[in-house]
Structure 1
């Protein structure tokens, strides 16, 4: 709860100090509200007792909420919302070696893409899912790992800057959803068409909707991971393509030419 309140206060303060359009403000508040609904409302209870609600929760945490929130480009407003001495301290910390090393690893496009896929597929391993649903600490870590990997991925994908200063080339941002979408579609299809119950933990914990058979619940969960998630990633790819087309229309930056040294000429002696 403290994270939500702190983020909301920083954005509200920052949006008063710098100019933020109403569209961006609306996207931020909608995205933050979706995160709150997925983690701190009755939806979380149903996610512990129905597999398809669990997949719906992770769809919001991993795709929908980060996509909408990062479409608001909240970084400048959040930074502006910090007190002045905090901003100065943050700026100094960014230039230190540990901070640069951490950013080089965590913000690396390859690391972000792998974490985005692994954070979904790993928790769907039946034995891992079984343990995670029984231990509230692992369950909380699971949800937050899904949310954080989603935020990092959509931050990378929706970056509208050229390369550099962006860490990812615009063309790779368009291609990335195709790469990350494939394993999620495959796992979703396997779950959808499975004929036996892969996740009996939901039956052991007591199902919220007893009228929904376990196989139907599982198939619905697989479809949610398969179709809506792929649609959202396709939307992200189109947004990245739009940025690519915009950047391609900008004048190309010409690298500075090095001045070639002229060969020394011998003085001509007058006869």
Structure 2
């Protein structure tokens, strides 16, 4: 499964980066917006969706057990796939190059909508079933090697994933790096890919990594602390007295918006809706804990019946 895990991270990260849109000089004066349909992005999205569909159908035919759970996973993956498509191929991508606030919406969709939904969809376990049986055996043998297993274990350690996600977020919003991403397509590609890959690893430690038997306290701690530091970054952007990213002045003014107000709106997007996403994640995690700890009705009946039998026996004695 590890090679599939590494492949999904690379696949989605590449899809998140190959079409990082940067406005040309003409576009900054008179921006044009529309669906982009970058061939590489479309190809990767179609490949990921097709593999999931094939794997899901094979698993569904193989066993009738847990069909409801698989249906939930399918719905989650489909919604995450759709969010990824909207973030990368819709007019939002072109608008993000002209407005900082739209750029923040795009980043939040990648990190707080697409990434957690894709993780909940369990694509790693489903995709492997899309391959022929002979290839599945080869993949299983390959993932047992320490050269593949150890890097994955390190990257998905809660602290490592948290630090990577935080470093990516704060580092890319430093003016020097954000401005470089706006000016150069290759750096913009790296920015989008690192946002998505870091978010996938982070949300994996929250919703996907159940193999280590962790009780989940680290997941709530990760969500809370991430909400705090991302909220702090959003507040800094919102309350800043001056512009952090002068490259947006021309394009924002061409659309009739005040550049500083656009920056403040982008900060609010990260601060409020972004923080709400982590709260929702924490509530979902708490609901899952309660569902696991709640006794089943049959167990309750057994306990009641047992108590009744013991009480009757005591009276008879």
TM-score by length of 2: 0.73
- Counterpart mapping for 1:9-158 below 5 A: 9-19=50-60, 21-158=70-207
Alpha-carbon offset, residue 225 of structure 1: 0.5
1:192-231 matches, cutoff 5 A: 192-204=238-250, 206-207=251-252, 210-231=255-276
Question: For each residue in 1:1-46, what CA deviation from the matched residue of structure 2 results, as whole angstroms up to 9, or x when unmatched?
Answer: 2321221111010111113543332221121111122112321111
* Residues 149/208 of structure 1: CA separation in 2 closer, same or farther (3 Å cut): farther
Aligned to 1:7: 48
Equivalents in 1 of 2:220, 2:242: separation in Å?
Answer: 37
Which ranges in structure 1 are unaligned for 5 or more consecutive residues? 251-271
Q: How many residues align?
A: 247
Partner of 1:242: 287
Residue in 2 that maps onto 1:264: none
TM-score, normalising length: structure 1: 0.85
User: Alpha carbons of 1:220 and 1:199: their partners in 2 closer, same or farther (altered >3 Å)?
Assistant: same
Instruction: Tell me how far 1:57 sits from its aligned partner.
Output: 0.3
Counterpart position of 2:307: none
Matched, 1:186 2:235: no
CA distance in 1, matches of 2:119, 2:147: 26
Name whichever structure is richer in helix by fraction.
2
Q: What do the CA deviations read for 1:204-262 (whole angstroms, capped 9, x no partner)? A: 5x237622101110000000000111101111111122233344458xxxxxxxxxxxx
Residue 81 of structure 1: how far off its partner (Å): 1.2
Question: What's the offset of the Cα at 1:108?
Answer: 1.4
Contact 1:66-1:150 within 8 A present in 2 as well:
yes
SS in 2 for 1:158: helix
2:221 aligns to what? 175
Preserved CA contact (<8 Å) 1:50 1:208? no
